[in-house]
Each structure stands twice: as C-alpha cells, then as structure tokens.
C-alpha cells in the first residue's frame, strides 16, 4: 500500500516486542509512580483535584502522548536512516546492537550495574502546567529525558529499527512503542480514580516488572546476535503464506 510494507513477517515479531516494551516502560519504577503527579501538573490541579474531577486530564494526557510520540517517531526515522546508510554492514550492526541490548538487560537483572543508566537526564519543561501546549512540551521533555528505566527499552527498539533497513519499518516500530507507553497513560487520565488504585497495587511488583524487562532485553539481544529474528520471519512466511500479500 503506497509502497510501504508495514505488515511483513519481519515486522510483526518486532512490533509485538515494541508494544510489550512500551507497556513495561509505563509500568517501570521510574514512570508509574510519576503518572498521577504528571497528570495533576498538566491539568493545573493537585492529585486530590484529579480525584474530585475538578478538571479533566484527558486532553492534556493526549497532548503529552503526542509530544513523546513526536520524539520517538523522529528517533525511529533517524535510526532507520542510519541502518540504511550502513546496509552492507547489517549483520555486524545487528550483532553489535544485540550485544548492547544484552548488557542493558543484565543491568536490569542486577547482574552488572551501569552507572550511566542509574542517572536521570530528564529535561525540565518549565512551568507549563494547565494547558494542552504545556502538556505537549512536557511530553517532548519526557521523551528526550532518557530516564534510566525508559532508556534501555527505547534503545532496544531503536536497535531493531536500525537493523531493519527500511525507513517506514523503523518509524512504525517507534510508533508502536509510543502506543504501548501512551495508551495506558491516556487510560489513566480517563479512569483516574481506578487508575490510582491500580497503580498503588502494582507498586509492590515494580521490582518484578524490572526483572521481566531485563529478561525481555536479553531475549531480544540474543535474537539480534544470532539472527533469530530473520529465522522467525522466514518461519512465519512459510507457516502463514498470506502474510506475503499484506502491505
């Protein structure tokens, strides 16, 4: 469709990983706890004001997600362009990316510690609370921040984008990742009362979620290192030939 094949067998497993990584990023220890304060800041009321429905957080949440999605899409396009420029060295690029993703996974599992990933570099958006444009700016700042929790997951998806060799595929992968991170954020704004209760119940499991993220990073890293993504893609095409006609 329009020369852009987004639903190929090679894209599907990577997209599933991107969606799962986005959801786990939302549930990570340095994102989940700040969701209510972020929503309160963007709407210009306190957390208690959100509970009392003094002002809706839905529109600011949508603009916040648009802000972070803007950055992720640009990153996906840039990573794909980089991979395309070095198409001759795709195998080497995939192995290097796989090794880096494995190292980040070991950091999440606390097997090794990387000081850089324990430091926040989040940009400050300034006093932009209480408006849609302020929420958009805050989304840009959040995405640029590369907090310790979101950086490795984002790096993994960027690695998948860089080794894909297609600009549309890489950009779409980051769009899927943005959806995985952004949809729960918007749902939290829509169902703020229930969301705060759910978040409080999830907090004791944040350590386990971090280890699951580490395991996912290692699995993806090994697949990049060994070429298993390509092998799995061929298996999908052989098992479901109709996939070859999609796009």
Share of the chain above pLDDT 70, in %: 74
Between 67 and 244, whose confidence is greater? 67
End-to-end CA distance of the chain: 5
* pLDDT of res. 185: 92
CA distance 75 to 171: 8
Among 4-13, 106-115, 141-150, 168-177, the range of highest mean pLDDT: 168-177
pTM score: 0.80
Residue in the structure block whose two tokens are 């926040």: 120
What are the sequence ranges of the domains in the chain? 11-245
Q: How is residue 79 written in tokens?
A: 């990573």
Please state, in angstroms and rounded to a whole number, the distance separating the CA atoms of residues 4 and 65: 25
Rounded to 5 degrees, φ, ψ at 165 are 80, 0
List pLDDT tens digits, range 73-127.
Answer: 998 888 888 777 766 667 777 788 888 889 888 888 888 877 656 555 444 444 4
Q: DSSP string spanning 187-206?
A: HHHHTHHHHHHHHHHHGGGH
Predicted confidence at residue 4, as pLDDT, reads 41
- What is the structure's pLDDT at 37? 82
Would you state the pLDDT for residue 119?
A: 55
The pLDDT assigned to 87 comes to 64
Tens-place pLDDT, residues 152-191 = 788 888 888 877 667 777 888 899 999 999 999 999 988 8
Residue 64's contacts (CB-CB under 8 Å, 6 or more residues apart) are: 38, 42, 135, 136, 138, 139, 142, 185
Q: Is the pLDDT of residue 243 over 60?
A: no
Q: What is residue 4's three-state secondary structure?
A: coil
Q: What is the DSSP letter of 57?
A: -
In 3D space, the residue among 156, 175, 170 whose CA is nearest the CA of residue 223 turns out to be 156
């Amino acid at each position: 469709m329009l020369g852009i094949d987004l639903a190929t067998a090679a894209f599907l497993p990577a997209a599933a990983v991107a969606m799962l990584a986005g959801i786990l990023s939302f549930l990570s220890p340095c994102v989940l706890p700040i969701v209510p304060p972020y929503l309160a800041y963007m709407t210009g009321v306190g957390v208690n004001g959100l509970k009392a429905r003094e002002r809706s957080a839905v529109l600011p949440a949508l603009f916040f997600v648009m802000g972070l999605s803007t950055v992720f899409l640009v990153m996906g396009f840039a990573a794909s362009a980089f991979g395309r420029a070095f198409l001759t060295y795709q195998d080497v690029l995939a192995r290097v990316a796989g090794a880096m993703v494995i190292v980040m996974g070991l950091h999440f599992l606390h097997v090794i510690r990387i000081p850089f990933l324990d430091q926040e570099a989040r940009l400050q958006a300034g006093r932009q609370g209480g408006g849609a444009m302020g929420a958009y700016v805050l989304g840009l700042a959040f995405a640029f921040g590369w907090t310790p929790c979101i950086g490795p997951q984002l790096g993994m998806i960027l690695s998948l984008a860089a080794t894909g060799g297609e600009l549309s595929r890489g950009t779409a992968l980051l769009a899927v990742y943005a959806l995985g991170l952004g949809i729960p954020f918007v749902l939290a704004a829509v169902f703020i009362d229930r969301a705060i209760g759910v978040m409080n119940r999830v907090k004791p499991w944040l350590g386990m979620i971090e280890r699951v993220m580490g395991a996912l990073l290692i699995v993806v890293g090994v697949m990049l290192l060994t070429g298993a993504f390509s092998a799995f893609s061929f298996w999908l095409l052989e098992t479901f030939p109709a996939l070859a006609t999609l796009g």
